[in-house]
Amino acid sequence: MRQALDVVAGMIAGHEGPLDAITFNWPLVQQKQAEAFHGKLTESYAATTANKMVSAFRGVMRACRDMGLIAEPQFQAVARLSVLQDGRDKPRRMLTLAELTALFNTCAKDHTAAGRRDAALLVVLLSTAMRRTEAIALDLQDYNPLRGELQIRSEVPERNRNMKFGRKSQDAMSDYLNVRGREPGPLLLPVDKGGTIRVRRLTDQAIYGIIQRLSERAGIKPVTARDIRRTRVASLIAKGMALPAVQAAVGHLSWLTTSAYQGFADELKESGGALLPDLPYVKPGQNGVRE
């Protein structure tokens, strides 16, 4: 619940990442902020996680009311958030190798720094199955180009994990770093319309928009970060990795969460889908894609 409230505080404040829920000024939350945060939940989290965060938020605001920090009308205005449906009736997809190739080809056709950045973002998400909030928290120092390893830091140090990238994934990171430069700061940076890289942290909403734009340009069905995560986790299981090892690799807190992907893994094997031995990164100027 503490972690959930940290994320909620960050969303309400429009902050790029979680905030400290203990020091956050909850009585100042207004109706528009609550509604905006609720809308972000539907885009960023599964219904179970989102409803846990809604419950945590309501509990805090109820406590504010009971302590006399806010009046009843304000409590009713900010706490009347609907419960999200579990979405089990909605199609949950995995990406095919053809779709992955189309996404990377789209990045290669982009002659600006954004194309390199987008390819690096795909590599990071597909190689690690990390969430958008984890991706925006990465710093340049977390990636070791000599070893081709990315360190994913957790609030609990013992849950930190390292991911070794394949050869093509390392190529994508190298091409991106060549245009990003070595200035300390966030690993994944925004690129403005003029193609200039800005040294500041992306937002999770920005990543959502990047993925949507790439899938549209690639001519494939809309892709989300959850689709990418689902594809990676299912791929690891389908390749025969033990569930505890998959749990550690993708950062699940419980093996029960990991085991829920078994059905997707079986579907992936039956369909002959992408098992991701390495990613189909295309360097600009190669395989028919001209710089």
Structure tokens at 86: 């579990």
What pLDDT, in 10s, does the model give residues 245-266? 888 888 877 776 788 788 888 8
Task: Say which DSSP state 186 is in.
Answer: B
| In contact, 269 and 261? CB cutoff 8 Å | no
CA distance 64 to 48: 25
Q: What is the pTM of this model?
A: 0.68
Question: What is the residue type of 92?
Answer: R
Domains of the chain by residue range: 2-79, 97-271
Average pLDDT in the chain: 84
Q: How confident is the model at residue 288 (pLDDT cuts 50, 70, 90)?
A: very low
Residue 58: CB atoms within 10 Å = 16
Flag whether pLDDT at 120 surpasses 90. yes
| In contact, 87 and 51? CB cutoff 8 Å | no
Question: What is the residue type of 100?
Answer: L
What CATH number was assigned to the domain covering residues 97-271? 1.10.443.10
Flag whether pLDDT at 275 surpasses 70. no
Q: How far is CA 233 from CA 34, 50, 129, 176, 271, in A?
A: 32, 21, 7, 25, 16
